[in-house]
């Protein structure tokens, strides 16, 4: 399951994308305008954005450049939806940094395959680590819900375990407090984003030296380090 934002002004395409992506189990957000799209991208921190090139209020290229130029949104994968003859070279070039593009009219099946490919690429180790993983001094057995730091087993609550997995599975991507809140606690939970901070703090303490793998992104949220050797604390 991934979080996918669709920025597209044509209602027909919006609906087709929304329906099919939901069908695949993804959480889908939809914006019909560029401004709204940028706002949702910052707020919801999706894993992937399907971005139409021609929007009523601003160009998709501008949105792409803005997102890729901002440290908080840079790691969101972007697939551009372009019409034939539009500036494809520039779109997929390094200039804008889109991760892939699909030419309209596209087949839904083809688009879904592209989406899966991009998500697999960005989530990298996640599939290989379905049963468990080792990250630096941290070792996790997912099935058994057991966690070790430097060979000492830790006693995590179910919630702390879930929080840790959520962060790890989105390695190197910033997770906002509100995204964590809705994914770990459920949207209806009667708690505040401050609770997220409290739990992350407690989780870090339990992890000991491995706590540095969970990085704080000031003013935004948290991120699991990409590499155990390059943690900034
Ligand atoms: Ca359009």
pLDDT greater than 50 at residue 221:
yes
pLDDT category of residue 230 using cuts at 50, 70 and 90: confident
Q: What is the pLDDT of residue 89?
A: 57
Q: At what angle do helices 193-207 and 158-169 cross, to 10 degrees?
A: 90
The pLDDT value recorded for residue 219 is 81
| Residue 13 alpha carbon to ligand 1 centre in Å | 9
**Ligand 1 centroid, distance to 101 Cα (angstroms):** 14
Q: Separation of 10 CA from ligand 1 center, angstroms?
A: 6
Please report the pLDDT score of residue 123 as a whole number: 65
Q: Can you list the domains of the chain with their CATH numbers?
A: 3-127 (3.40.50.2300), 130-230 (1.10.10.10)
pLDDT, one tens digit per residue, over 94-139 is: 457 787 888 888 899 989 988 988 887 766 544 444 577 889 999 9
pLDDT at 128: 45
Residues with Cβ < 8 Å from 189, sequence gap 6 or more?
Answer: 181
- Sign of the torsion angle spanned by Cα atoms 81, 85, 87, 88: positive
């Amino acid at each position: 399951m991934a979080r996918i934002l669709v920025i597209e002004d044509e209602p027909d395409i919006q609906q087709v994308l929304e329906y099919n992506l939901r069908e695949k189990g993804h959480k889908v957000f939809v914006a019909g305008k560029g401004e709204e799209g940028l706002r949702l991208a910052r707020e919801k921190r999706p894993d992937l954005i399907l971005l139409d090139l021609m929007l009523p209020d601003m160009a998709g290229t501008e949105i792409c450049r803005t997102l890729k130029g901002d440290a908080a949104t840079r790691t969101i994968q972007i697939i551009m939806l372009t019409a034939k003859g539009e500036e494809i070279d520039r779109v997929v070039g390094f200039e804008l940094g889109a991760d892939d593009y699909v030419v309209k009219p596209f087949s839904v099946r083809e688009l879904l395959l592209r989406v899966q490919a991009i998500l697999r690429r960005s989530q990298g180790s996640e599939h290989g680590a379905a049963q468990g993983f080792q990250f630096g001094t941290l070792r996790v057995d997912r099935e058994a819900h057991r966690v070790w730091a430097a060979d000492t087993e830790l006693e995590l609550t179910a919630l702390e375990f879930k929080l840790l997995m959520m962060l790890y599975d989105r390695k190197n991507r910033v997770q906002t407090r509100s995204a964590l809140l809705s994914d770990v606690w459920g949207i209806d939970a009667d708690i505040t984003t401050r609770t997220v901070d409290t739990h992350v703090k407690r989780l870090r303490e339990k992890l000991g030296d491995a706590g540095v793998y969970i990085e704080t992104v000031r003013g935004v949220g948290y991120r699991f380090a990409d590499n155990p050797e390059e943690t900034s604390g």
